[in-house]
Structure 1
Amino acid sequence: MILVTGGTGLVGMHLLMLLAEKGEPVRAIYRNAARIDNVRQLFEMQGRASAFEAIDWQPGDVTDIPSLENVFSGVSKVYHCAAVVSFDPSEELLLRKTNIEGTANIVNFCLAKNVRKLCFFSSIAALGDLAVNEHHFSETTEWNPEKYHSDYAISKYGAEMEVWRGQQEGLQTVIVNPGVIIGPLPAKADWQQGSGRLFWETAKGMKYFTKGMTGFIGVWDVAKIAYQLMESDIRSERFVLVAENLPFDALSRTLTTELGVRPPTVYASRWMTSLAWRADWLLSALLFRKRKLSRATAHALHSQEQYDHSKVKAALDFDFEPIADVIRKTAVYFRETNV
Structure 2
Amino acid sequence: MVLVTGGTGLVGSHLLLKLTMDDNIVRALYRTADKLTHVKKVFSYYSDNYEALFEKIDWVQGDILDIPSLETAFENIAQVYHCAAFISFNPSDFKKLERINREGTANIVNMCITAGVDKLCHVSTIGTIGRTITKEKADEETEWTRQNANPYAITKQLAEMEVWRGAQEQLKMVIVNPGVILGPGFWNSGSGSFFKTASKGYSYYPPGGSGFVTVTDVVNIMIQLMNSTIHSERFILVAENLSYQEILQKITSSMGKKPPSKPLKFWQLNIGRIADKFRNLLNGSPRTITKNTIYGLKNPTTFNNSKIKQALQIEFEPLEEQVAFCSKQFISDQS
Q: Deviations over 1:149-186 (max 9, x none)?
A: 1101101100000000000011000000000000111x
SS at match of 2:154: helix
Q: Which amino acid in structure 1 is aligned with residue 136 of structure 2?
A: H
Tell me, which stretches of 5 or more residues in structure 1 are unaligned? none
- Pairs within 5 Å for 1:98-137: 98-130=100-132, 132=133, 135-137=136-138
Matched residues, number: 333
**Structure 2 CA distance for partners of 1:214 and 1:133, relative to 1, 3 Å:** closer
Distance (Å, rounded) in 2 between the aligned partners of 1:42 and 1:286 = 34
Whole-angstrom distance in 2 between the partners of 1:152 and 1:93: 11
Q: CA deviation at 1:133?
A: 5.7
2:301 to 297, 301, 305: 305
Q: Which residue of 1 aligns with 2:83?
A: 81
Q: Who is 2:255 aligned against?
A: 259
1:42–1:237 distance in 2 versus 1, CA, 3 Å: same
Counterpart for residue 161 of structure 2: 161
TM-score normalised according to structure 2 size:
0.95
Counterpart Cα distance in 2 of 1:133 and 1:250: 21
Q: CA RMSD in A?
A: 1.5
The residue that corresponds to 1:151 in the other structure is: 151
Residue pair 2:5, 2:28 contacting (<8 A) in 1 also: yes
Q: C-alpha distance in 1, partners of 2:228/2:120?
A: 12
Give runs of aligned pairs for residues 1-339 of structure 1, distance below 5 A. 1-47=1-47, 48-49=49-50, 50-130=52-132, 132=133, 135-145=136-146, 147-185=147-185, 190-339=186-335
**Aligned-partner SS, 1:158:** helix
Structure 2: give runs of 5+ residues left out of the alignment. Answer: none
**CA distance in 1: counterparts of 2:286 and 2:301, whole angstroms:** 27
Report how far residue 296 of structure 1 moved: 2.5
Aligned residue type for 1:295: K
- The one-character-per-residue Cα deviations of 1:170-205 (angstroms, maximum 9, x if unpaired) are 1000000000000111xxxx3112221111122123
2:15 partner letter: L
8 Å contact 1:15–1:223 — kept in the other structure? yes
State how far apart, in whole Å, the 2-side matches of 1:193 and 1:177 are.
Answer: 18
User: CA contact under 8 A between 2:148 and 2:295: conserved in structure 1?
Assistant: no
Runs of 4+ in 1 over 4 A off after TM superposition: none
| Deviation (angstroms), 1:324 | 1.6
Deviation at 1:3, TM superposition (A): 0.1
Aligned residues of 2:148 and 2:292 also touching (Cα < 8 A): no
The code of the aligned residue for 2:300 comes to Q
Distance in 2 between the 1:124 and 1:288 partners? 27
TM-score under structure 1 length normalisation: 0.94
Offset, 1:279: 2.9
CA contact (8 A) 1:205 1:262 kept: yes
Aligned equivalents of 2:44, 2:65: Cα separation in 1: 31
Work out whether residues 131 and 301 of structure 2, in 8 Å CA contact, stay in contact via their aligned partners in 1.
no
CA distance in 2, matches of 1:91, 1:294: 13
Q: Is the 8 A contact 1:253 1:263 kept in 2?
A: yes
Structure 1 residue 338: deviation in Å? 1.3
SS at match of 1:69: helix
